[in-house]
Chain A
């Protein structure tokens, strides 16, 4: 397990995925999407890891698809190429749903677009008080239906709240997210709290966790 496009490290039975291009607020690229998809799929075979924390480096979670490396090329693609891309991003969410370990997002700062989707696709979410999650697809000329958002977000926060966020693309504050059930807790600093939760789930898991 030696990924090229994010950092992976293990503490006991907890694996930590760190998106680490902090100078750009940790955007995703074609390569990092593909690597995340393959990595989450491979976790099926990893019996030593019992819980995963997903985080971003440098005070931000993830700024979503890189404007220059993804959005620009997408505006020039044919329909088959676009479908390959949207199916690949959807496959990241599917792989996250199907990997056996509980996934815990530690969200701080910017959590936008596909970054908000990655947080949404985790099982538990912890936020720092400055976390700003924005399902901003409507603001970039797309619809809110990206990577399963129209199906999963309503199940987490309710249809009316999801409709507002997806129609407007506005950002959700940490406090709103906590009140709406998007976040399990708002804590500062967020990473130690997420690590504690992951360690607790990874240590002597009750039978229903296995």
Chain B
């Protein structure tokens, strides 16, 4: 996702890019890995990401 956005935004205006990122990051916040990272932080351990 980061690579895709870097290249999609290469030619975008900044305010437009900020909206693109708001949409992309909202999608990623529904991922299980985001929840895993939070739970790992609270439990003071390293997160094990599974890519979903």
A141→B26 CA distance, assembly (Å):
12
Contacts of A159 in B (CB 8 A): 6, 10
- The yes or no answer to A86 lying at the interface (CB within 8 A) is yes
Interface string of B1-22 (1 = CB under 8 A from A): 1110110011010110111111
Interface string of A81-111 (1 = CB under 8 A from B): 0110111011001100100000000000000
Knowing A85-B26, A141-B47, A151-B12 are in contact, say whether A146-B21 is a contact too (CB < 8 A): yes
Chain B proximity of A118: nearest CB distance (Å): 14
Knowing A140-B38, A143-B5, A145-B21 are in contact, say whether A151-B14 is a contact too (CB < 8 A): yes
Chain A proximity of B8: nearest CB distance (Å): 8
The answer on a CB contact under 8 Å between A166 and B30 is no
- The yes or no answer to A154 lying at the interface (CB within 8 A) is yes
A152→B15 CA distance, assembly (Å):
10
- The yes or no answer to A148 lying at the interface (CB within 8 A) is yes
Chain A proximity of B51: nearest CB distance (Å): 10
Contacts of A151 in B (CB 8 A): 9, 12, 14, 17-18, 21
Knowing A71-B38, A139-B37, A148-B21 are in contact, say whether A82-B26 is a contact too (CB < 8 A): yes
A148→B9 CA distance, assembly (Å):
9
The answer on a CB contact under 8 Å between B21 and A150 is yes
**Chain B residues touching A, range:** 35 or more
The answer on a CB contact under 8 Å between A166 and B2 is yes
A42→B30 CA distance, assembly (Å):
33
The answer on a CB contact under 8 Å between B38 and A67 is yes
Residues of chain A from 134 to 172 with CB closer than 8 A to chain B in the complex = 137-152, 154, 159, 162-163, 166-167
A71→B1 CA distance, assembly (Å):
20
A97→B16 CA distance, assembly (Å):
13
A198→B17 CA distance, assembly (Å):
29
The answer on a CB contact under 8 Å between A87 and B22 is yes
Contact of A75 among B1, B19, B27, B38 (CB under 8 A): B38
Contact of A148 among B2, B17, B27, B36 (CB under 8 A): B17
The answer on a CB contact under 8 Å between B38 and A72 is yes
Which 4 A-B residue pairs are closest in the complex by CB-CB distance?
Answer: A151-B17, A141-B33, A145-B5, A86-B22
Beyond A140-B34, A151-B9, A151-B17, 15 extra complex contacts between A and B, CB < 8 Å: A67-B41, A83-B22, A90-B18, A140-B37, A141-B28, A141-B47, A143-B1, A145-B9, A145-B21, A147-B18, A148-B21, A150-B17, A151-B21, A152-B17, A167-B3
